[in-house]
């Protein structure tokens, strides 16, 4: 192990402030998949993540590097990078020498995720009500329309995806980048939890709750927004059946190419 001979530490400074001019965002909220360099790895990251978020990939589905590589036309190097980022987000699990699998959170983990959401999201909703711009409100309303359209149009997968993304948009509206990132991770994992433990027929009919939240924001009522978010999350949690184990595997190529 050659330890000596490190001659660098030259004076090339980074572009200050840790966020000097990042590229536009490809569909997700702000700054998804931090730590990813190339655009190719990020594209795979986004694609697989959306497949998971919309329940096209079920928990415990295996994600072999070679398969993903041939699906996306990238080498394993890139796929690997994307998988590690997904693992860091908790949506997949990497078992050393065995491979990557879509995560399958247990009931304890499910409770934890919603505990965390109940702690963070109501607070963010309140702050959002204090600071939102008209542009944010407009974006949220547009999102609500798309969400309802997906629900009424029977586009189940799209509805699930948008329902989760609403919460990310709310978090972003609060202007707290750090907490918003936490919310993004929690929402992602919630998608898996819903896929495993949801028991009601009327999936994601929370559209009305979402709309009420946006109205509270538009009216500039922090306490109301906070309470509405708390209730909404509690009701979602109530719609889960956190008692018995779970199951489920789905096809890979079909799920990823069809979205």
Partner DNA sequence: CAAATCGAGATTGTATACAAATTGGCGCAG
Partner DNA sequence: CTGCGCCAATTTGTATACAATCTCGATTTG
Which residues sit at the interface with DNA, rule CB under 7 A?
Answer: 8, 10-12, 37-41, 62-66, 74-78, 80, 94, 96-100
Asked if 216 and 129 touch (Cβ cutoff 8 Å), the reply is: yes
What are 176's two structure tokens?
């707290």
Helix (H) or strand (E) holding 238: helix 222-238
- Helices (H) and strands (E) counted in the chain, each on its own, are 10, 3
Q: Which does 243 bind (CB under 5 to 8 A by kind): a second copy, DNA, none?
A: none
- Residue 24 partner contact from a second copy, DNA, none using kind-dependent CB cut-offs of 5 to 8 Å: none
- Give min distance, CB of 150 to a second copy, in A: 26
> Which residue number, 45 or 166, has a Cβ lying nearer to a second copy?
45
Per-residue tokens: 146: 């798309």
Nearer to DNA, 58 or 204 (CB): 58
**Could you say which of DNA, a second copy, none residue 78 binds, taking C-beta under 5 to 8 angstroms by partner kind?**
DNA
For 99, list phi and psi in degrees, rounded to 5. 125, -175
Q: Which does 40 bind (CB under 5 to 8 A by kind): DNA, a second copy, none?
A: DNA
Contacts of 252 (CB under 8 A, 6+ apart): 57, 61, 62, 63, 67, 71
Closest contact distance (angstroms) between CB of 154 and DNA is 35
Q: How far is the CB of 70 from a second copy (least distance, A)?
A: 5
Partners of 240 in the beta sheet?
198
Residue placing its CB nearer to DNA in the complex, 94 or 137: 94
Least distance (Å) between residue 193 CB and DNA:
24
Binding partner selected for residue 51 from DNA, a second copy, none, CB under the kind-specific 5 to 8 Å limit: none
Nearer to DNA by Cβ, of 81 and 163: the residue is 81
Residue 99 and residue 246: Cα distance in Å, rounded?
Answer: 21
Contact 63, 48 (CB under 8 A): yes
**Cβ 239 vs Cβ 198: under 8 Å:** yes
Q: Which is nearer to DNA, 99 or 259 (CB)?
A: 99
Name the minimum Å distance from CB 181 to DNA: 21
CA distances from 67 to 102, 124, 177 (A): 15, 39, 34
**75 interacts with, out of DNA, a second copy, none, CB within 5 to 8 A per kind:** DNA
Q: Which is nearer to a second copy, 31 or 211 (CB)?
A: 31
């Amino acid at each position: 192990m050659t330890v000596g001979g490190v001659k660098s530490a030259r004076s090339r400074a980074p572009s200050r402030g840790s966020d000097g001019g990042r590229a536009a965002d490809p569909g997700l909220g702000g700054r998804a998949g931090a730590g990813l360099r190339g655009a190719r790895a990020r594209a795979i990251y986004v694609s697989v993540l959306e497949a998971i978020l919309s329940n096209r990939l079920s928990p415990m589905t295996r994600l072999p590097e070679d398969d993903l590589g041939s699906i996306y036309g990238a080498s394993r190097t890139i796929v690997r990078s994307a998988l590690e980022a997904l693992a860091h987000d908790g949506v997949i699990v990497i078992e050393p020498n065995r491979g990557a699998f879509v995560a399958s959170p247990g009931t304890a983990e499910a409770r934890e995720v919603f505990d965390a959401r109940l702690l963070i999201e109501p607070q963010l909703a309140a702050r959002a009500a204090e600071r939102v711009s008209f542009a944010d409100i407009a974006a949220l309303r547009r999102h609500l329309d798309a969400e309802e359209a997906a629900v009424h149009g029977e586009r189940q997968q799209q509805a699930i995806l948008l329902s989760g993304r609403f919460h990310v948009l709310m978090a972003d509206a609060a202007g707290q980048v750090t907490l918003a990132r936490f919310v993004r991770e929690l929402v992602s994992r919630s998608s898996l939890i819903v896929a495993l433990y949801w028991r009601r027929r009327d999936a994601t009919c929370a559209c009305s709750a979402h709309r009420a939240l946006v109205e509270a924001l538009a009216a500039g009522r922090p306490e109301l927004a906070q309470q509405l978010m708390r209730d909404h999350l509690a009701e979602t949690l109530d719609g889960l059946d956190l008692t018995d184990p779970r199951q489920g595997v789905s096809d890979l190529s079909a799920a990823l190419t069809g979205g």
